[in-house]
A and B are shown apart, each in its own frame.
Chain A
């Protein structure tokens, strides 16, 4: 799957595809990380962005003290990935564009 392109990037902990309702379509996560939760989170935030900015296609990168969350809305789905704080986000972004 194309999700592997994302998860093979160093320090990327997982990636997935979720619908706008937050249900997981496909995911590939490291052990210990719940894709359902991150899918729900991605849907929640992207819906908020869409509602606020009134745009269909958008992406967001969120930084927390421990991890980075990347999500992009495309069509009816949302593709998202999580990584450690020092993950290569630039590369991750390029891969996202390719997907």
Chain B
């Protein structure tokens, strides 16, 4: 069921995307997406109407006529179907039929200026066409409330290419043209105004879910009852358009919904301002990410996460500074440093010595030797040692893989040194493991 819904929703939305493509002049892409969508949903009337429009825009009048005429029985009250049929007929020179369809358009939506102008262009005598066109009030009052509203809200298509008809107006059309449809007009409003389009999509979706294919136009039947608005009889029935999105935004939005990729020929590029926004947002996100030191796996405390005393970027070993300072306060202690068992310096608190790295390496070597010896004797591992040489002594305490080395004068009390060292070792073990 969920899958079906996904398929349906995609099927319904492809028409919207195609409409946006058409509005952006991407006719081939629109046709491609429409064919694909209609392949999955062959009964989707709106899709067919937009396909007809796409063919017309491409200049493939035969295909446009074929498509629109095929769907005409079920969409004869669609403003756009009639409009494009009229345009197609006009294009092929069948002005009679064109005028007929224009008349129907004017009947459905008397405010359709494009249809009016095009009708005027093929029938220059306004006396014939205009009285019919100027009967909106009578017509709309007979319509059901939903239709009236739709007729009021409908907006003429703006993006349509202007078709220059160089043929002289034919005099035959002077005769009053009778509209072929006499039953109450039920418009299927399609394209451009987003609200209308979405409404139609919703309706179509419901239709596809519930009704069998090839039935009467169900757009109106399924629509929820709309209360009659006095605006329908207003002399200036101005549409109240939704705040319109830019084309690129619309395309992006719809593609997001579709999960489909835009054709390669015409990739949808977001406007530069939007791109800048996105990059700025990404940078912010990156800045928020807490960097992790790969060597030891400690997170550098951020301003939010760190304790108030510690500033951001402070090494965890800095917490050793305090106990180390107590140790260094001992008179006999010259300095101390922490190194790893492989002789690499971790922290140095013996600034007076410049060759501290060398000493660290040598002491590590001695400790490793002693450790190996103990292991050879099966006496466990070395815990600590005191190396005495002429002018100084070095007390070494192991803390996991680290060595705390304290350089003292010969007269230093090793017991006291080890007491202080023990506190530091506990913290080293907590930090370095």
Contact = CB atoms under 8 A, between A and B. Distances in A.
A48 B377 CA distance: 18
Interface in B382-407: 382-390
A59 B384 CA distance: 14
Contacts of B26: none
Interface in B274-309: none
Contacts of A62: 370, 374, 382, 384-385
Interface in B342-401: 362-363, 365-366, 369-370, 373-374, 376-377, 379-390
Contact of A65 (B376, B377, B381): B381
B377 A60 contact: no
B373 A41 contact: yes
B384 to A, nearest CB: 5
Contacts of B381: 64-65
B425 to A, nearest CB: 13
Chain B interface residue count: which class? 20 to 34
A69 B379 CA distance: 11
Contacts, number: 71
Contacts of A4: none
B387 A63 contact: no
A55 B366 CA distance: 14
A95 interface: no
A49 interface: yes
B395 to A, nearest CB: 9
A45 B370 contact: yes
Contact of B380 (A37, A60, A65): A65
Nearest to B373: A41
Contact of A57 (B366, B382, B387, B390): B390
A44 interface: yes
Contacts of A41: 373, 376-377
A53 B389 contact: yes
Interface string A66-92: 110100100000000000000000100
B390 A55 contact: yes
Chain A interface residue count: which class? 20 to 34
A61 interface: yes
A9 to B, nearest CB: 17
A65 B375 CA distance: 11
Contact of B387 (A38, A60, A64, A69): A60
A63 B388 contact: no
B341 to A, nearest CB: 15
A58 B370 CA distance: 15
Given A44-B369, A45-B373, A58 B380 contact: no
Contact of A49 (B366, B379, B384, B415): B366
B380 A64 contact: yes
Contacts of B415: 90
Interface in B175-190: none
A60 B386 contact: yes
Contacts of A38: 377
Contacts of B377: 37-38, 41
A66 B380 contact: yes
**Residue with the highest number of chain A CB atoms closer than 10 Å, among B365, B366, B376, B382:** B366
A66 to B, nearest CB: 6
Contact of B369 (A45, A66, A67): A45
B383 A55 contact: no
Nearest to B388: A59
| Pairs of residues from A and B, 9 with the lowest C-beta to C-beta distance, nearest first | A52-B362, A65-B380, A41-B373, A61-B386, A59-B388, A48-B369, A63-B383, A58-B389, A62-B385
17 contacts: A37-B377, A41-B377, A44-B373, A45-B366, A45-B369, A49-B389, A52-B363, A53-B362, A60-B386, A61-B386, A62-B385, A64-B381, A64-B383, A65-B380, A66-B379, A67-B379, A90-B415
Given A53-B387, A60-B370, A69-B370, 10 more contacts: A45-B366, A45-B373, A48-B365, A52-B362, A53-B362, A58-B387, A60-B388, A62-B382, A62-B384, A63-B384
